[in-house]
Amino acid sequence: MSAAGPRATTEQLASLAPLAGMSPERLGELAEVAVIERAPRGSDPLAGRLDGKHSIFLLHGELLLAYEGGGTMVVVGGGEDTRQALNRQTRRLVRVKAITDVDLLAIEDDVLDILATWDQVAAAGAGGDSALGHAVRSDSRLVTGAFSLANLRSGAFAQLPAAHIDELFKRFERVKTARAQVLVREGDEGDYYYVVESGRFQVERLVGGAKVVLAELKAGDAFGEEALVSEAKRNATVVSLGDGVLLRLDRQHFNELLREPLLRRLSFEEAAARVREGALWLDVRYPSEYQYDRLPGAINVPLAEVRNMFAVLDKGKEYVAYCQSGRRSAAAAFLFAQRGFKVWVLNGGLKAAERAG
């Protein structure tokens, strides 16, 4: 297979059976991650890839397909026989030969599955009682923001059971905001989880009586989860910088639909086994606590600093987060999981480690 060629177009993607009916905005996102590959005449462009993690479609050229148990077939790019992935058909392929130079399109199976699941659930909701499901299919701001492909692949929604998606569409409320409106106030009880649909929002905190700006949030960003997961007071204030729209989920439905599916808990014995296999301990307590009784080899990332570590920690590694009781580590693990990190929670915190000796 030669190096990747030009980028796929939305028209090419729309012609493929698994993607028919998807919005132009969703197809545009997919075009960013799909890869066009070119292979010369006489080659087998699917060699070693028939059972891989990508679905392969023929865009241009001619291929000779040889099937398990005998039988061959010639297919031409752009025809009805090439609307389905070559390596995902009922009849199993054993080899392929390029009759001409060919252009192939490769898309990750996980990406196709994620988009198909969310698109179909949204479609079902659009005909029923889910106003948000209809909006996801018709409002480009949601497709490219709160429910963008990036968020569905590695954000808070990435690990949701399919059965929870429809409930999520039903339970989210769309809330309009005005300039200078306070959505979350430092010191208040946690009541809602928010996802930004549109607009800009400022996160600020009082330090020594002075206001310190911590971050600015945009479409697709989330806030309010820390207080809900750790069952603590709000640790910052969030203010709308102009007109905007938020999606909000109350505490009960946040816990049922997002928190528990995203938090993966391990006993101390299970966590220690993960660490022996290469995972890293992540101590999310204050530095003063960390210095006193940290676990061997642990990295200190205080809960308040988690967002600053998204670009520092290696996403390719696995982590086990812990604190004293498990509350702060649950909040940290949720924040990391929203950004695609693989983080477990030490169930019961250091107290569990002490009981295990």
| Residues 62/99, Cβ–Cβ less than 8 Å | yes
Question: What digits encode the pLDDT tens for the residues 123-152?
Answer: 655 444 556 666 565 565 566 667 778 778
What CA–CA distance (Å, rounded) separates 82 from 104? 10
- Angle of helix 162-171 relative to helix 109-126, nearest 10 degrees, comes to 40
Q: Mean pLDDT across the stretch 260-271? A: 87
Q: Is the pLDDT reported for residue 357 higher than 70? A: no
Q: State residue 123's pLDDT score.
A: 63
- Angle of helix 109-126 relative to helix 24-33, nearest 10 degrees, comes to 170
* Tokens representing residue 185 in the block: 């106030």
Helix/strand/coil (H/E/C) assignment for every residue in the chain: CCCECCCCCHHHHHCCHHHCCCCHHHHHHHHHHCEEEEECCCCCCCCCCCCCCEEEEEEECEEEEEECCCCEEEEECCCHHHCCCHHHCCCCEEEEEECCCEEEEEEEHHHHHHHHHHHHHHHHHHCCCCHHHHHHHHCHHHHHCCCCHHHHHHCCCCCCCHHHHHHHHHHCEEEEECCCCEEECCCCECCEEEEEEECCEEEEEEECCEEEEEEEECCCCEECHHHHHHCCECCCEEEECCCEEEEEEEHHHHHHHHHHHHCCEECHHHHHHHHHCCCEEEECCCHHHHHHHCCCCCEECCHHHHHHHCCCCCCCCEEEEECCCCHHHHHHHHHHHHCCCEEEEECCHHHHHHHCC
Residue 340, burial from CB neighbour count under 10 angstroms (0-12, 13-18, 19+): middle
Q: Assess whether 323 carries a catalytic annotation.
A: yes
Q: Is the pLDDT reported for residue 5 higher than 70? A: no
Residue among 104, 133, 107 nearest 120 (CA): 133
What CA–CA distance (Å, rounded) separates 304 from 230? 12
Domain ranges of the chain: 10-108, 127-258, 263-355
Q: Is the pLDDT reported for residue 162 higher than 80? A: no
Q: State residue 133's pLDDT score.
A: 60
pTM of the predicted model, to two decimals?
A: 0.68
Options 13, 19, 249, 323, the catalytic residue: 323
Q: Which of 108-112, 199-203, 232-236, 339-343 has the highest mean pLDDT?
A: 199-203
Q: Which of 15-24, 107-116, 121-130, 192-201 has the highest mean pLDDT?
A: 192-201
User: Is the pLDDT higher at 56 or at 6?
Assistant: 56
Between 98-112, 184-198, 290-304, 324-338, the lowest mean confidence (pLDDT) is in: 324-338
Q: State residue 75's pLDDT score.
A: 93
Q: State residue 74's pLDDT score.
A: 94
| Residues 348/326, Cβ–Cβ less than 8 Å | yes
Task: Identify the architecture of domain 127-258 in CATH.
Answer: Sandwich (2.60)
Q: State residue 117's pLDDT score.
A: 76
What CA–CA distance (Å, rounded) separates 87 from 85? 6
Show the CA angle centred on residue 95, arms to residues 93 and 101, nearest 5°. Answer: 115
Question: What digits encode the pLDDT tens for the residues 59-113?
Answer: 999 999 999 888 999 999 988 889 999 988 888 899 999 999 999 999 998 888 8
Q: Mean pLDDT across the stretch 187-196? A: 92
Question: Using 50, 70 and 90 to split pLDDT, how confident is the model at 287?
Answer: very high
Q: State residue 99's pLDDT score.
A: 96
Number of Cβ within a 10 Å radius of residue 123: 14
Any residues with CB less than 8 A from the CB of 143 and at least 6 apart, and which?
A: 23, 25, 26, 29, 136
Question: What digits encode the pLDDT tens for the residues 231-261?
Answer: 888 989 999 999 999 999 999 998 888 887 7
Task: Identify the architecture of domain 10-108 in CATH.
Answer: Sandwich (2.60)
Question: What digits encode the pLDDT tens for the residues 45-61?
Answer: 999 888 888 999 999 99
Q: Mean pLDDT across the stretch 307-315? A: 89
What CA–CA distance (Å, rounded) separates 4 from 166? 37
User: Listing from the earlier edge strand, what are the strands of the sheet with 299-300?
Assistant: 265-266, 342-346, 318-322, 280-283, 299-300
Same fold, 127-258 and 263-355: no
Q: Mean pLDDT across the stretch 313-325? A: 93
What CA–CA distance (Å, rounded) separates 287 from 284? 9
Q: Mean pLDDT across the stretch 213-221? A: 89
Mean pLDDT of the chain: 86
Q: State residue 128's pLDDT score.
A: 45
Topology (CATH level 3) of domain 263-355: Oxidized Rhodanese; domain 1 (3.40.250)
Q: State residue 64's pLDDT score.
A: 95
Question: Using 50, 70 and 90 to split pLDDT, how confident is the model at 320?
Answer: very high
